[in-house]
Structure 1
Amino acid sequence: MSRQQDDHQFGDRRIVKWLNQEREWKYPKNVPYHPRSDSHGGAQSRYFVDDLIHESDVIAEAAREGDLVYAEDYDVGDPRGLGWNVDLVMGPPAGDVQAPLEGGMAVGPPSEVWLACDAKSIITEHQKARRNRQRDINSFADIMHSHHEQAITCGILLLNIADRFDSPTRDADDITDHPNIDRIVGEIVDLFDSIDRSEGEMSANLDGAGLVVVDHTNLIDDIGDTDLVTREPAPQPGERVHYRTFVSEMADLLEQRFL
């Protein structure tokens, strides 16, 4: 059941605010996003939890009663072998949990994994990264289901459409140009839309993927100018890889399968 709250801000817009904040990194460049940091994935995962709570009265009640908890950076199996370090897992608590803040969900290890989400990004070097991220999400779903057969597996992809990017891993004057970026982003959207889905059944396939397209140059002079992109080639409302459609579908699936 969907809950309508006009003041709720979904994770696709909240991650833009996150990117627009200046931060001090331990890396050479003072920039909001760094490919060697998992901070953006953690932020995106926490926003997803809030979105699920907003989307479903049933999930909100389970969170409020302490019957549903989440954990970040959760090891499933042995990550050095047939395992995965998952950005976000959700399920019933393994033990006593502290009551969550009003409207939130308690943090703690689940006794079993009901939902697992991997948060990835393609910010620069799209041609190389696209296939890597596709393989990541397929491997993630397969490994998760080998350990937790009933678990809902999903992914969130932060996808950059800026035509210039100042990569923190490159020299200070080495700015990456992305010619034909609209075409490339459109191809990546289609690629992730084409990944085999479980279609609500229990299978080894992915259950859902949500894409968030941003215009994020990462140029020092442009920090604070990141925008959420809603025009094509970004996914459009109603398409299954549109972030808010994805949230709604994952909330419905979590309700139906476990709650």
Structure 2
Amino acid sequence: MRDFATGRKKDLDLVIARPAGDSADMEGSLRGLAQKYDVPLDATQRALLDGLPDIQVAPVGAVLVALEAKAAMTAHIKALPRLYDELNSSHVCVHGASAQALAIAYIQVNSATEFASSVSNNFSLSNFPLRVSRHAQPKDTLRVLSKMGELPRRTRIGENGFDGIGVTVLDFANQGGPVEILNAPPAPQPGDQFHYDAMISRMAHEYDSRFVAV
């Protein structure tokens, strides 16, 4: 999408918008993304997806909701400046395109004590031993959460900041094992403003308030 105020372009992870151009030119849909990206779904998950409106994938016209997703998987402290700057620039771009639009940030933070990064293991593992990065947990996770708490938020149109922020804490060593969602502290707890459910609830409420006629 493009910031109308500055002309700057930025790729965002999810944008709900009025489409640009004729609907006949649209290709793909929300439900079709699961098949396109080979997302594994059980019967219950498939039924939930089939129950959603099959929104068409199309070029962005007038923006309604824009979500930027970022992750801090390893080298948490080193990655903080880039993580913060990339998130902060996204709400500026969204509101530069439309002051009415909802700008949402979603962050995943890895709480695992070690992580096998694809960057540091960019070679054949049959010839070299696995390089594992060590994390000082929960200190590293808490440091990221603290920095995310500095992101600006807004409560009304015309202010600067995000309209909603959500954080999920994972336990992900990236060595062939499962990805676990951490519900205990330091993960945001139910009722916290950065809890995933709170992000969804706030986004839905603000959408209903601003775009009731859409």
TM-score by length of 2: 0.76
Q: 1:161 aligns with which of 108, 111, 116?
A: 111
Q: 1:115 aligns with which of 48, 55, 65?
A: 65
The corresponding residue for 1:152 is 102
The corresponding residue for 1:92 is 18
C-alpha contact (below 8 Å) 2:99/2:157 kept by paired residues: no
- Seq. identity, %: 25
CA distance in 2: counterparts of 1:228 and 1:218, whole angstroms: 14
- Residue-by-residue CA offset, 1:191-231 (whole Å, 9 max, x unaligned): 212322112433231111101111000013xx2x2211011
C-alpha contact (below 8 Å) 1:76/1:86 kept by paired residues: no
The one-letter amino acid of 2:117's match is S
What stretches of structure 1 move > 4 A for 4+ residues in a row? 97-101
C-alpha contact (below 8 Å) 2:80/2:144 kept by paired residues: yes
Report the Cα offset of residue 151 of structure 1.
1.2
The corresponding residue for 1:177 is 134
The corresponding residue for 1:51 is none
In structure 1, the gaps of 5 or more residues are 1-74
C-alpha contact (below 8 Å) 2:16/2:63 kept by paired residues: yes
Task: Please state if 1:255 is matched with 2:205.
Answer: no
C-alpha contact (below 8 Å) 2:100/2:157 kept by paired residues: no
Q: 1:142 aligns with which of 80, 92, 97?
A: 92
Number of positions where the alignment pairs a residue of Structure 1 with one of Structure 2: 179
CA distance in 2: counterparts of 1:218 and 1:118, whole angstroms: 23
SS of equivalent residue, structure 1 residue 85: coil
Task: Please state if 1:230 is matched with 2:199.
Answer: no
Change (3 A) 1:111 1:82: closer
In structure 2, the gaps of 5 or more residues are 31-49
C-alpha contact (below 8 Å) 1:215/1:228 kept by paired residues: yes
Aligned pairs for 1:2-13 within 5 A: none
SS of equivalent residue, structure 1 residue 235: coil
SS of equivalent residue, structure 1 residue 112: strand
SS of equivalent residue, structure 2 residue 62: coil
SS of equivalent residue, structure 2 residue 79: helix
The corresponding residue for 1:186 is 142
The one-letter amino acid of 2:180's match is D
- Structure number with bigger Rg: 2
- Residue-by-residue CA offset, 1:112-157 (whole Å, 9 max, x unaligned): 0011111111101101112211111111111221222221111111
C-alpha contact (below 8 Å) 2:152/2:160 kept by paired residues: no
CA distance in 1: counterparts of 2:200 and 2:158, whole angstroms: 19
SS of equivalent residue, structure 1 residue 201: coil
The one-letter amino acid of 2:18's match is P
The corresponding residue for 2:55 is 106
CA distance in 2: counterparts of 1:189 and 1:166, whole angstroms: 22
CA distance in 2: counterparts of 1:119 and 1:138, whole angstroms: 12
CA distance in 2: counterparts of 1:116 and 1:207, whole angstroms: 10
